[in-house]
Amino acid sequence: MSVLEVCVDDVAGLNAAAEGGADRIELCASLDLGGVTASAGLMAEASKLAIPVIALIRSRVGGFTYDAAEERVMLRDIERAGELGLAGVAIGALTRDGRLDLALLQGLVKRAQGMQLTLHRAFDLVRDQSQALEDAIALGFHRILTSGGALTAPEGAAQIASLVRQGRGRIGILAGSGITAANAAELLSATGVQELHASCRGPGAEPDPELQAFGFAGSSQRITSASMVRELKARVLRDIRPI
């Protein structure tokens, strides 16, 4: 069954993704910085939707090696996501030598018991993706979000296809980064993935000059577009094939 997951970072994005026909949402804050954990209030709002919502659990921007205090923050955020009724969490952590941090991840996975588990794009920075995939299966992850270690999924298509073959029947591969309605068909055909992850964001209104001057708004704004979600969803439904 084909799945389109849309990542959003505000209430307007939630509504646009749902209106456009997203099958699942990844919820975060600060998408322009790769995403960090959303507020409890935004999680609560997302829990009202009829479609599954996966909360990104990332305590800060930057790399994916974490200390004990950051681990405690992520554990509490996982608890909160569960308390608020979200379907799952997207988590990830690395050691300094580029492997999955199995000890830390075991604790996060245990705290998320009963929820869907996505290994987020920290996976794209591991040194050995084949081994990391096996580790993710052993930890109990349901899917891996990846661009195949490249900057975008189309660029990493060959590696994504390899991961699909390796994990088939044991773990899902969720292709993400740089996916649009224009390239989705080719990516689906080249990789065999059954799930796509996209932001579906387009230009927003020009920022208010006063807000920008005070540092309350950036120089540009991108917003989740229901029409872009709808177009990509239509392409997924039309072009995905059983493998």
Q: What is the pLDDT of residue 211?
A: 78
Domain ranges of the chain: 3-239
3-state helix, strand, coil in the chain (%, to 5): 40, 20, 40
pLDDT tens track for 55-114? 999 999 999 999 999 999 999 999 999 999 999 999 999 999 999 999 999 999 999 999
Q: What is the dihedral of CA 61, 63, 69, 71, to 10 degrees?
A: 100
**What is the pLDDT confidence band of residue 209, given thresholds at 50, 70 and 90?**
confident
pLDDT tens track for 222-235? 899 999 999 999 98
Q: What is the pLDDT of residue 241?
A: 47
User: What rounded mean pLDDT belongs to the chain?
Assistant: 93
Domain boundaries 3-239, CATH class: alpha beta
Give the C-alpha separation, 50 to 172, whole Å.
22
Outline where DSSP puts E strands in the chain.
3-8, 24-27, 53-56, 88-91, 116-119, 143-146, 172-176, 195-198, 201-203, 222-224
Do residues 175 and 195 lie in contact, with contact meaning Cβ atoms separated by under 8 Å?
yes
pLDDT surpassing 80 at residue 219: no
**What is the pLDDT confidence band of residue 239, given thresholds at 50, 70 and 90?**
low
Backbone angles phi, psi at 169, to 5 degrees: 85, -5
Do residues 99 and 132 lie in contact, with contact meaning Cβ atoms separated by under 8 Å?
yes
Tokens of 225: 């577009």
Residue matched to tokens 């950051």 = 70
Q: What is the pLDDT of residue 242?
A: 42
pLDDT tens track for 129-153? 999 999 999 999 999 999 999 999 9
In angstroms, the first-to-last Cα distance of the chain is 11
pLDDT tens track for 181-202? 999 989 999 999 999 999 999 8
User: Higher confidence at residue 45 or residue 185?
Assistant: 45
pLDDT surpassing 60 at residue 1: no
